[in-house]
């Protein structure tokens, strides 16, 4: 019989500058703690406001055994509730999206309005007080059109700081006035942390992502200096300074913010598109002829925005691509990718769907294959933690540092 893992000892023994020991990617007890102490206590990105555009529209968000129902009420506010009836615990809505007048439990028809109040329950007697049996609320925040929830009783600190820093970066793109052009769910055969780590570096890009590298300048994600690339790195730094000045002259904050170590950690920077380009498309030109917000310039670079523990986003002049990561099992992860365009843009007129989505559909598939290989190798007896590149994997280490720190803090709270 396998001995149980002492998670606290593993956390304390983690070696700085090296990848995590195998149990963090394979062990079912650690996975259970990830759900409870990371996804159950922190602000997690779950979707974009245009996914719930009108009163009565809803989506469900499943994280482990937990399920959250998010709906727009009659006053236009976005609400979030545990997707559990207060009668005998039945799940109210299955996974997906739809439209509701009221929230009706399919089991015994207990009925709630979109504010979560219990408004109808047969056979409970005249003296039954409905006011004590409304749906259990979940904390929800709308960051300039990006939706975050926190399932803890007391929300994790730091969202106000995130809002203050990031609203000026995001608001010019007017995400609330976009629409969903496409959404793709990919099941990756690896631990959720491998999905996040893979996103936080471009060490692998040259060997894996030919479509993405048409528009992506990998120097923006770290590069080891050498006599052979001194001029290229210097040229990139000069381009970055010049473009940041130009974009900020338009009123678009662009310079790097790095607060990945915060409890509600995040990072953002606006980067140039390669080949004097405009968007992350096969030819670097805009995918949609309807620009976002009030800007008419197409060459506004790409705003890259990362949040701990489960999201990244690319915001361009013509469209937005958002990514939400959700753990399914120690070796299975859901990656949900959503493409947003101007709400009035018409498919086939203002944009071609394949051209809009092809770069990231290809990139996600390539990354999924890499993550599966990583999971297979880590699960073998030969695996030992390996050293991070100080030039290209700094953000990977920051993610793992944040994860170990937050897991360790959660374990202390449970004692």
Is 224 within 8 Å of 232 (Cβ atoms)?
Answer: no
Is 42 within 8 Å of 409 (Cβ atoms)?
Answer: no
- Cα 367 to Cα 98, 197, 199: the distances in Å are 31, 11, 9
CB crowding 376-398: b at 16 or more within 10 Å, else e: eebeeeebeeeebeeebbbbbbb
- Residue 343 CA, chain-centre distance (Å), reads 22
CATH of domain 44-143: 2.102.10.10
Task: Name the packing angle between helices 192-199 and 353-378 (round to 10°).
Answer: 120
Distance CA 318, CA 174 (A): 11
All residues at 6 or more sequence positions from 119 whose CB lies less than 8 Å from its CB, including other chains: 102, 111, 112, 113, 130
For residue 220, give the nearest of 306, 308, 321 by alpha carbon.
306
Distance CA 141, CA 81 (A): 13
Domain definitions of the chain by residue range = 44-143, 159-408
Is 273 within 8 Å of 284 (Cβ atoms)?
Answer: yes
Structure tokens at 363: 């990139």
What is the phi/psi pair of residue 112, to 5°?
-125, 145
Residue segments in the chain with a per-residue pLDDT below the cut of 50: 1
Residue in the structure block whose two tokens are 């968007």: 279
CB crowding 314-347: b at 16 or more within 10 Å, else e: bbbbbbbbbbbbbbbebbebbbbbbbbbbeebee
What are residue 336's DSSP bridge partners? Answer: 185, 324
- The answer to whether domain 159-408 has CATH 3.40.50.740 is no
Edge-first strand listing for the sheet containing 103-104: 103-104, 111-112, 118-120
- Bond before 309 cis per omega within 30 degrees: yes
Instruction: Give tens-digit pLDDT for 86-98.
Output: 999 999 999 789 9
User: What pLDDT sits at residue 415?
Assistant: 74
């Amino acid at each position: 019989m396998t001995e149980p893992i002492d998670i606290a000892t593993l956390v304390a023994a983690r070696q700085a500058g090296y990848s995590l020991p195998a149990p963090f990617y394979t062990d079912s007890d650690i996975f259970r703690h990830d759900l409870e102490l990371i996804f159950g206590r922190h602000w997690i990105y779950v979707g974009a406001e245009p996914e719930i555009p009108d009163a009565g529209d809803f989506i469900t968000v499943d994280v482990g055994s937990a399920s959250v129902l998010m709906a727009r009420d009659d006053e236009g506010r976005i609400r979030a509730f545990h997707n559990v009836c207060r009668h005998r615990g039945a799940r109210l809505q299955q996974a997906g999206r739809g439209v509701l007048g009221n929230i009706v439990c399919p089991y015994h028809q207990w009925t709630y309005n979109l504010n979560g109040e219990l408004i109808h329950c047969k056979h409970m007697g005249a003296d039954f007080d409905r006011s004590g049996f409304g749906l259990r609320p979940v904390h929800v925040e709308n960051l300039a059109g990006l939706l975050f929830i926190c399932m803890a009783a007391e929300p994790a600190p730091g969202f106000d700081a995130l809002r203050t820093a990031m609203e000026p970066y995001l608001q010019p793109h007017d995400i609330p006035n976009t629409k969903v052009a496409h959404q793709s769910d990919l099941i990756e055969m690896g631990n959720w942390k491998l999905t996040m780590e893979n996103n936080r570096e471009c060490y692998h890009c040259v060997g894996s992502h030919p479509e993405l590298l048409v528009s992506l300048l990998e120097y923006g994600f770290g590069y080891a200096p050498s006599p052979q690339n001194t001029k290229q790195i210097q040229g990139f730094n000069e381009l970055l300074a010049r473009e940041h000045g130009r974009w900020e002259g338009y009123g678009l904050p662009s310079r790097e913010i790095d607060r990945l170590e915060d409890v509600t950690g995040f990072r953002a920077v606006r980067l140039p598109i390669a080949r004097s380009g405009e968007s992350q498309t096969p030819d670097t030109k805009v995918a949609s002829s309807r620009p976002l917000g009030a800007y008419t310039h197409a060459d506004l670079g790409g705003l890259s925005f990362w949040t701990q523990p489960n999201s990244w986003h690319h915001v361009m002049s013509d469209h937005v691509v958002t990514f939400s990561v959700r753990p399914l099992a120690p070796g299975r992860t859901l990656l949900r990718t959503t493409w947003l365009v101007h709400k009035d843009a018409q498919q086939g007129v203002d944009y071609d769907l394949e051209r809009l989505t092809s770069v990231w559909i290809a990139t996600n598939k390539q990354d999924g294959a890499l993550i599966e290989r990583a999971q297979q190798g880590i699960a073998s007896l030969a695996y030992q933690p390996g050293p991070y590149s100080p030039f290209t994997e700094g953000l990977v280490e920051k993610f793992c540092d944040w994860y170990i720190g937050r897991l360790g803090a959660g374990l202390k709270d449970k004692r």
